[in-house]
Amino acid sequence: MTGWGIPAVCAAACLAFAATGRVAAAEAPASSGLIITRQALHAERLAAGEATRGPLATDVAIQSQDRLLTLSGGRVDLAISRHGFIALGDDTDLRVERVPFSTFDVDLRTQLRVARGHLRLVWKYPDFGARWPMVIDAGPFRISVTSGEYFVEHRDQRTLLCVAEGEAAISTPGQAEAAVFTASACYRLISGAPAQVAAVAPEGFVAARAARALLPLAMQIGLAWAETPSVTATAAMTPDAPGAPDPSAAPTPAPPRSLAEARDQALREAVGPAGRPDATPATPRPSPPSPPSPSPSPRAAAPARPTPTAVAEAAAAPSPASVPRGRWALNVASLNRRDAAVEVRQRLLGAGFSPEIVEASVDGRRWFRVQFRGLADAAAARALARRLEQEAGISGAWVIPPGR
């Protein structure tokens, strides 16, 4: 897929059937939420307010509250404007809870519900300042994602999530904050219990893409539907302070960092070029020249109990970097402890925002700054600060001009 910039005149979340390497139909009406340009057999649509299903045809606009269903052997491919695509497997029931009316909609949130079946999502934020949230509901779980590639399968009240690239914030009703799940791993989400997690090498997702199903991969890594022993990680809402490893706790296998470049290459092949090539990734993942040593490094000390939050903290360890010259930033908080900065970042992820943690040294003291970088101008930064106060309850953010 090509051209990941924001379209000049297009719906904010146009979903379109698209073959690999083809751009969605340009003649789609500007007010459409979802556009289908190509579809396979064995797929149906139940339009909002209607009682009977109809065949899923090409160039049909899909709106909020519509429902897409695939039968046995069915499949559906959807392109989300120029910012990503969705692939549905067979025997899938996808409900379109909400899509923006247009790029000028006040709320640009796209929200989907997997009532049953398999969904693969490749998503690319157009810009941190645009705040274009993508949310997937599956069972009791709400999954908010950043740019990346994700697989969700929900059947028989059981939910699997695989993150090939990016980060997902998972929340359930009644939770104050979301737990963060990171890349190169699959998670079995269990309501009211610790999530099960297993690391997956980047090439491990190839078969899942082709089969449009997660169950074979889940069986291979020990996260199948049957209750099987597995490495567990608690979905804690607040991060643990770093400490000595607990010998009785089963360690979470770390993703193979030597394969980071392969993972990045696989994502680039899936999503095409980024819409904003100078964007700084929210979670830099440096690839060391040699495989990880069996002995833990001082900076990567294990927490008292392995959690997805702790994995997110390790993966998000940034190198000291200034705001790109000629670009603006918004500083939410400057804290002298990394775990405190991670807690603020978790809260924002749960609200649909994607800040970064930037490490800085001032007068010999280390600070961990929670920031939004790459904003177009001071007005965009101030507008984002107002949204943070209104939607996340965080006030006091200040604007950082270019070069600071």
pLDDT at 397: 86
* Closest CA relative to residue 86, chosen from 70, 71, 73: 70
Predicted pLDDT of residue 150: 97
Which pLDDT does position 35 carry in this prediction?
57
Exposed, middle or buried: residue 201 (CB in 10 Å: 0-12, 13-18, 19+)?
A: middle
Whether the pTM exceeds 0.75: the reply is no
Domain locations in the chain?
35-221, 328-400
**In this predicted structure, what is the pLDDT of residue 191?**
82
CB-based contact 142:172 (threshold 8 Å): yes
CA atoms of 55 and 385, how far apart (whole Å): 45
- Could you tell me which of 264, 307, 287, 257 has the C-alpha nearest to residue 164? 264
- Mean pLDDT by runs of 10 across the 404 residues of the chain is 38 38 34 52 85 80 86 86 85 91 75 96 68 88 93 92 93 78 92 87 92 90 60 34 41 41 46 39 45 45 42 41 59 87 85 87 85 87 87 84 77
Beta bridge partners of 87: 77, 120
Two domains, one topology: 35-221 and 328-400: no
* Separation between Cα atoms, residue 178 and residue 106, nearest integer Å: 24
How far is residue 109's CA from residue 123's CA, in Å, rounded to a whole number?
13
CATH number of the 328-400 domain: 3.30.70.1070
CA distance linking residue 372 with residue 384, whole number of Å: 9
Tokens of 19: 């073959």
- Minimal CA–CA distance to 263: which of 208, 201, 213, 311? 201
Residues 6+ apart with CB under 8 A from 23: 1, 2, 3, 82
Q: CA torsion 37→40→44→49, rounded to 10°?
A: -10
Buried b vs exposed e over 311-344: b needs ≥16 C-beta within 10 Å?
A: bbbbbbebeeeebeeebbbbbbbebeebbebbbb
CB 44 within 8 A of CB 71: yes
Rounded to a whole number, what is the largest CA-CA distance in the chain?
68
CA count, 13 A, side-chain hemisphere, 329: 25
Instruction: Say which CATH topology domain 35-221 has.
Output: Jelly Rolls (2.60.120)
In the block, tokens 């809402």 appear at 237
Reduced DSSP (H G I as helix, E B as strand, rest coil) percent helix, strand, coil of the chain, to 5: 20, 30, 50
Give me the pLDDT at residue 395, please: 79
Angstrom distance (rounded) from CA 274 to CA 157: 36
